[in-house]
Amino acid sequence: MIGGPGDEERRLGRLVRAHNRWRGREVFNLLASENALSPTALRYLGSDLAGRYTLPIPTTANGERRTNDYGGTRYTDQIESLANAAAARIFHGRFATTRPLSGHIAAISALAPLLPRHSKILAVPPADGGYDGYAPGFLPAMLDYVVRPLPAVPQTHELLAEPAVEEIRRERPNAVVLGQSFFLFPYPLRPIAEAAHEQGALVFYDASHVLGLVAGGVFQDPIREGADVLYGSTHKSFPGPQGGLLVTDREDLFSQLDPALVWRVFDNAHWHRIASLAQTLLELERVGPEYARTVVENSQALGTALSARGLPLVGAERGFTRSHQLHLLVPELLAQWGVGPATLGRRWERQGMITDLVGRIGTAEVTRLGLRPTDMDRLADLMVRAGKDRASVRSEVRSWRREFPTQRFI
């Protein structure tokens, strides 16, 4: 029967509106894996592009097209070229694709075409802050790789040059996959890349967490420091739509990578996402340095303010962080506050401050709202009252949040 929306549709509408109101207007989002899109980037996600196909199939590294089975693509193809060119410029490689649908898919897009089955890779294990996807049962199992641990420093999860170089020389891998989910400090990338290249190994840099910082010229400059391929998510410290991208300066690699993607890793690449990503890239070309600098300043100021109020954090002796992340020092937290990260995260959420439940605090999204280092004392005070004293601070959080109705850095 044709009629108006049914009960489930109305319920769905209420759920979406409630989510948007709650997450978009009433809370401070301190999830290290998330960010807020600019109004223009968000609008492009809801544009006509959302339902369209185009499938230009690249045959050469300079983007020459072989076929496109679809009509109606005169604008989509230009949007893609614009996105790829912006990604290449910003991340300092000559070749880029914005087609990967997520950071995980970007990893598959980079690794599968360049590393045959039975390749040996070195990656930081999840216990040392590495991405779960590189653990033996996941991507390596799917792609039939052997993965060996690249050892990181306990607690801070840093990579030090000497042990990393030693491990590379001992293991003689086909590739070193850098990048972590718990990521506070940049890598000594040059000596690591040199050692890898001496062994004939490729260096992949998974910038999923730090992509927005790299775009703004802080943290590090992976391709110029020796990474062969940089890839990652476009929605963590990088304030774009959910998705991924991949950049390299090596034509020999890109000419193997790009043509291998369509029909192996994906078919349609979601052109509304690519338009939205292009917008974010262009915005960051203008405001990225100030945005990235402020994110790091906010993390360091929040670390200092939380630590001064007794919250145990990793890396106090090193200024806590050089990224958008802070990490809870879990054993001390359990001993001193009697809670673990999950309980603490739930307490914060009930009071309007959202974090993950595994001990990371992120400052990227509150920075985009306009919070400055001078605001971090007040934020820390609310977090400690809510997390340690179990005080009700929700209405104070909500009214403070209302002071930030728009975004900066757009």
Ligand X SMILES: Cc1ncc(COP(=O)(O)O)c(C=O)c1O
Q: For binding to ligand X (CB under 6 A), which residues are involved? A: 33, 102-104, 107, 131, 133, 179-181, 206, 208-209, 233, 244
Q: Smallest distance, Å, CB 188 to ligand X?
A: 18
Q: Smallest distance, Å, CB 217 to ligand X?
A: 20
Between 84 and 208, whose beta carbon lies closer to ligand X?
A: 208
Between 181 and 321, whose beta carbon lies closer to ligand X?
A: 181
Q: Smallest distance, Å, CB 346 to ligand X?
A: 20
Q: Smallest distance, Å, CB 314 to ligand X?
A: 17
Between 152 and 371, whose beta carbon lies closer to ligand X?
A: 152
Between 238 and 291, whose beta carbon lies closer to ligand X?
A: 238
Q: Smallest distance, Å, CB 97 to ligand X?
A: 15
Q: Smallest distance, Å, CB 71 to ligand X?
A: 31
Between 44 and 205, whose beta carbon lies closer to ligand X?
A: 205
Rg (CA), the chain: 22
Between 332 and 356, whose beta carbon lies closer to ligand X?
A: 356
Q: Smallest distance, Å, CB 179 to ligand X?
A: 5
Q: Smallest distance, Å, CB 104 to ligand X?
A: 3
Among 193, 180, 197, 188, residue whose Cα is nearest residue 220: 188
* 3-state SS, one letter per residue, for the chain: CCCCCCHHHHHHHHHHHHHHHHHHHHCEECCCCCCCCCHHHHHHHCCHHHHCCCCCCECCCCCCECCCCCCCCCCHHHHHHHHHHHHHHHHCCCEEECCCCCHHHHHHHHHHHHCCCCCEEEECCHHHCCCHHHCCCCHHHHHCCEEEECCCCCCCCCCCHHHHHHHHHHHCCCEEEECCCCCCCCCCHHHHHHHHHHCCCEEEEECCCCHHHHHCCCCCCCCCCCCCEEEEECCCCCCCCCCEEEEECCHHHHHHHHHHHECCCECCCCHHHHHHHHHHHHHHHHHHHHHHHHHHHHHHHHHHHHHHCCCCECCHHHCCCCCCEEEECHHHHHHHHCCCHHHHHHHHHHCCEECCCCCEEECHHHHHHCCCHHHHHHHHHHHHHHHCCCCCCHHHHHHHHCCCCCCCCC
Between 35 and 279, whose beta carbon lies closer to ligand X?
A: 35
How many C-alpha atoms does 222 have within 13 Å on its Cβ side?
Answer: 31
Q: Smallest distance, Å, CB 246 to ligand X?
A: 12
Q: Round to whole Å and give the CA distance between 58 and 375.
A: 48
Between 158 and 206, whose beta carbon lies closer to ligand X?
A: 206
Between 356 and 381, whose beta carbon lies closer to ligand X?
A: 356
Q: Which residue is nearest to ligand X (CB)?
A: 103
